[in-house]
């Protein structure tokens, strides 16, 4: 899945020094992930409250290259790829629209598909397999 999400850094995203608080970068990435699901036609309420299948994040990391400030216009380029039949990874390239040549940050989340009731690994539903191969 390749997807581009646009976002403005808000005051609430920043810390006392006026830069984006580190944990909020992952929140922004999750917004991009949710937007990609919606764009593909996946209903978020059903996706996140599915009584049989869950796709939790099992790993998250962010490398920061430059600070982000309130008012910055961001472009978040989401690129997901399937690692196996039960796991995928998303890389998020976060750039400032005003200077796209250098990334502000690069984040990664890894997700696994499990049966919601017994928490054991299971295969991706067909809709997620399709989402993984989709490009916008």
Q: Which two tokens stand for residue 42?
A: 């996946």
> Which residue matches tokens 């978040």?
76
Q: Which helix (H) or strand (E) holds 129?
A: helix 126-133
Cα gap 23→113, rounded to integer Å: 24
Cα gap 135→78, rounded to integer Å: 10
Residue 84 known to be catalytic: no
Cα gap 12→20, rounded to integer Å: 9
| Terminal alpha carbon distance of the chain | 8
**Which one is catalytic: 13, 15, 63, 84?**
15
Please list the active-site residues.
15
């Amino acid at each position: 899945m390749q997807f581009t999400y646009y976002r403005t850094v808000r005051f609430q995203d920043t810390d006392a020094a006026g830069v984006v608080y580190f944990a909020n970068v992952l929140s922004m990435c999750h917004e991009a992930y949710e937007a990609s699901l919606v764009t593909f036609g996946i209903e978020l309420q059903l996706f996140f409250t599915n009584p049989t299948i869950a796709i939790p994040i099992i790993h998250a990391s962010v490398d920061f290259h430059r600070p982000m400030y309130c008012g910055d216009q961001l472009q978040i380029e989401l690129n997901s790829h399937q690692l196996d039949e039960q796991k995928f990874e998303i890389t998020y390239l976060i750039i400032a629209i005003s200077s796209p040549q250098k990334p502000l940050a690069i984040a990664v989340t890894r997700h696994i598909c499990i049966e919601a009731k017994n928490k054991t690994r299971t295969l991706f539903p067909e809709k997620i397999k399709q989402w993984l191969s989709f490009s916008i």
